[in-house]
Structure 1
Amino acid sequence: MQNNNLIKSFKDLEVYQNTYKLMLIVMKEIIPKLPDNEKYDLKDQLSRACKSVPRLIAEGYAKRHQRAGFQKYLDDAMAECNEMIVSLEQVKDLYNLTSVSISMEGLIDLYDKSGRQLYKLSVAWTNFKNKK
């Protein structure tokens, strides 16, 4: 998304685009490399959390005209980013994953950045709604 373009869809939000790309990396490159004994724990948590961030942004955008609609979903998406940070730190510390397109620290940093973007969007949305 370029700064001067109007937001016509949730897909125009940079944070949506970034978290969708992160989800693809986690689903295609991280989860398949984890051991089978993590199937119902870390694999499941990573899968649910990474997919929920862009979904929450999309669902919240659809409810942006409700008083607290968008805000609640942005808060939930921030929480899921934090869950992803903890889960990725666990993967980094428990398993030595190699041959991924981005380092675990890089993924963690990008989820942290996404959480900050969501916070800024939340503040901007609150200020916008209060001006109306």
Structure 2
Amino acid sequence: MKIKLTNVYVDDQDKALRFYTEVLGFVKKADFSNGPFRWLTVASAEEPEGTELQLARNDNPAGKAYQQALFQQNQPAANFYSSDLQADYERMKARGAEFTMPPTDVTASKIAILNDTCGNLIQITQLTRG
């Protein structure tokens, strides 16, 4: 068994697609509509056939409440891994990413947190443990 899909709620799917592809460097995997519903996913450019991230519209009241509660509590909605956090931080910052926490050493890792401009905080982690 493996994880194939997970999601984050976003307040604007077009803006989210631009952010996740142009700033984070992911690639678009699926983008199709059925009436008002839009199925939109991205994946890591390093593993394009790997786990997909659905950029789900937060028009569901429960999803919207969940997204807003996480953001208000400064809790990341998703966590992505980097093998070189400092280089990824510099690359994303140059592309306009707004970091709420620059690369910071914590127990067994280094983390940075950024605002995805669509209602979420995203944590980037580089493991430093053996």
Provide TM-score, normalisation by structure 1. 0.35
Q: Larger Cα Rg: Structure 1 or Structure 2? A: 1
Greater fraction strand: 2
Structure with the higher helix share, 1 or 2: 1
TM-score (norm 2): 0.36
